[in-house]
């Protein structure tokens, strides 16, 4: 396969991940499912960016480092989001977005 075809396939998969992630985030009411949709969409964006950087500048390793740092930051952010969601659920038994909007304080 040629490099252009591989790039098109990878970008198509990345676009599909973003689409499924956005649909999942917008169609759910559970906080955890919304966060999973956002995670999937962000993974698609990172996959597309990594593929574009790899095919535009394959000798430069700085693009790979940016992707690794972004993945680590995203994983930490999701872990903190899940921890906050669990804390809210344990304190008030709230697991849906509609119920979480009424929280104050």
pTM: 0.79
pLDDT of residue 98: 64
List the domain boundaries for the chain.
Answer: 3-96
pLDDT of residue 105: 57
Do residues 91 and 97 make contact, with C-beta atoms less than 8 angstroms apart?
no
Q: What is the pLDDT of residues 22-37, one digit of tens each?
A: 999 999 888 888 889 9
CATH code given to domain 3-96: 1.10.287.3510
Q: What is the pLDDT of residues 36-58, one digit of tens each?
A: 999 999 999 999 988 888 888 87
Do residues 72 and 83 make contact, with C-beta atoms less than 8 angstroms apart?
no
């Amino acid at each position: 396969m040629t490099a252009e075809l591989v790039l098109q396939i990878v970008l198509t998969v990345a676009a599909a991940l973003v689409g499924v992630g956005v649909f999942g985030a917008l169609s759910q009411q559970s906080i955890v499912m919304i966060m999973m949709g956002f995670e999937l969409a962000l993974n698609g964006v990172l996959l597309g960016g990594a593929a574009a950087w790899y095919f535009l500048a394959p000798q430069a390793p700085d693009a790979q480092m940016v992707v690794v740092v972004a993945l680590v930051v995203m994983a930490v952010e999701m872990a903190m989001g899940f921890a906050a969601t669990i804390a809210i659920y344990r304190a008030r038994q709230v697991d849906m977005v509609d119920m979480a909007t009424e929280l104050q304080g």
